[in-house]
Amino acid sequence: MTHYAHLQVEIRGHTAQVTIDNPPANTWNRASLNALKQLVADLNADDNIYALVITGSGSKFFSAGADLNLFADGNKLVATEMTMLFGEAFEALAAFRGVSIAAINGYAMGGGLECALACDIRIAEVQAQMALPEAAVGLLPCAGGTQQLPWLVGEGWAKRMILCGERVDADTAERIGLVEEVVGQGQALEAALKLAEKVARQSPSSVKVCKQLVQRARIEPPGYNLIHEREQFIKLFDTADQQEGVQAFLAKRSPQWHNR
């Protein structure tokens, strides 16, 4: 078990299991945001890691977001520092070269939900509640919420959650596309780890490029990305994984990936 500030990390095969551990509500602060950024950098440098699963400690909170005590005195310098830390940490998570899965085991509020939004896939337990309530306290989601949420659920639901402060339960979240799966209480981590095992069957070199292509679709026109897609296909022939994958298939054996 490796410990970062307020984050517990356990390596399970090719998966890094990350637990947000800052009771009672698993809030984010300077130390944990810096730790998350460093953790993702460390995982990116480890060729043995293909997936990341993040969940909250305890049974009530995934994460309640920022510690509002940081903003109680209206200090703009603190606000500037924190918004940069939030942005850098969750953008690093979104850019993780493997597959990231949020196992939402309880309340995911504000920056807690933004952490889940930065992941590739979200699995929520049936009792989970999700919201971006920042406007209710005179703030706004500053760690990607205004950009990531409408991409997943559409502008209408994004406005309901951000502008009206509407909280959604797990079933609603699945219906509107905020999460991909709902499981029973206490089952999100297991479901996420099982999904991560499927990632390990894929070529990590291919997964990295495919993820980049999917995410580029948000900001670049299809005409450009279709050309880029073909270019990246050809570049995969420079990797050891491409040769291993095809040869393993033809030999009817399981591939041994090199992540290069």
How many residues belong to the chain? 260
- Please enumerate in sequence order all residues whose Cβ is within 8 A of that of 33, keeping only pairs 6 or more positions apart, or say none: 85, 86, 88, 89
DSSP type of residue 64: -
Mode of pairing for the β-strands spanning 168-169 and 129-131 = antiparallel
Task: For CA atoms 208, 210, 213, 214, give the dihedral sign.
Answer: negative
Environment class of residue 231 by beta-carbon count within 10 Å: exposed (0-12), middle (13-18) or buried (19+)? exposed
Q: Which residues is 4 bridged to in the sheet?
A: 7
Catalytic residue among 114, 125, 231, 244: 114
How many degrees, rounded to 5, is the angle at CA 252 between CA 247 and CA 254? 80
For residue 13, what are the contacts with CB-CB under 8 A and spacing of at least 6? Answer: 197, 200
The verdict on whether 134 is a catalytic residue reads yes
Task: Give the count of alpha carbons within 13 A of 77, CB side only.
Answer: 0
| Candidates 125, 134, 166, 180; catalytic one | 134
Active-site annotation holds for 155: no
* Tokens standing for residue 231: 């270019």
Rounded Cα distance between 169 and 49, Å, is: 32
Known catalytic residues?
114, 134
